[in-house]
């Protein structure tokens, strides 16, 4: 069964600190992996996308990595800000014609002053 698992479930850090969120998947065949940020009460917004041949992608203070061999991805946030408080969702798309996407449960990040 295709699955996407994220850890930790929630995380509290102090403003200015770095953090890393994890995503493990069992989706096959693999097409791409995307990290979304979802602010409370809003829809998710795409941060990064990586295909099979890419192992890192940056978007400002957000850096995602992908190890397609071990089927693991991470999202690293540098110098966290209060506005980074949100849920971060890992989404993996199947490499089939239907482009089915599997959502992780998300990591809830709280950045405190």
Tell whether residue 92 is a contact of other proteins (CB under 8 A): no
Q: Which of 30, 44, 57, 65 binds other proteins (CB under 8 A)?
A: 44
Between residues 65 and 87, which has the closer beta carbon with respect to other proteins? 87
| CA proximity to 11, closest of 106, 107, 112 | 107
Instruction: Please state, in angstroms and rounded to a whole number, the distance separating the CA atoms of residues 35 and 58.
Output: 11
Phi/psi for 75 (5° steps) reads: -120, 120
**Residue 11 is a binding residue for other proteins (CB under 8 A):** no
71-90 positions binding other proteins, by CB under 8 A: 87, 89
């Amino acid at each position: 069964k295709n699955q996407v698992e994220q850890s930790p479930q929630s995380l509290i850090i102090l403003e200015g600190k770095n953090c890393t969120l994890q995503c493990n998947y069992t989706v096959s065949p693999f097409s791409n992996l995307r990290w979304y940020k979802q602010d409370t009460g809003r829809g998710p917004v795409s941060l990064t996308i990586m295909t099979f041949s890419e192992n890192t992608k940056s978007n400002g203070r957000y850096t995602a990595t992908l190890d397609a061999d071990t089927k693991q991805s991470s999202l690293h946030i540098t110098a966290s800000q209060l506005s980074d408080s949100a849920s971060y969702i890992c989404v993996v798309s199947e490499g089939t014609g239907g482009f089915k996407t599997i959502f992780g449960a998300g990591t809830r990040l709280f950045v405190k002053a």
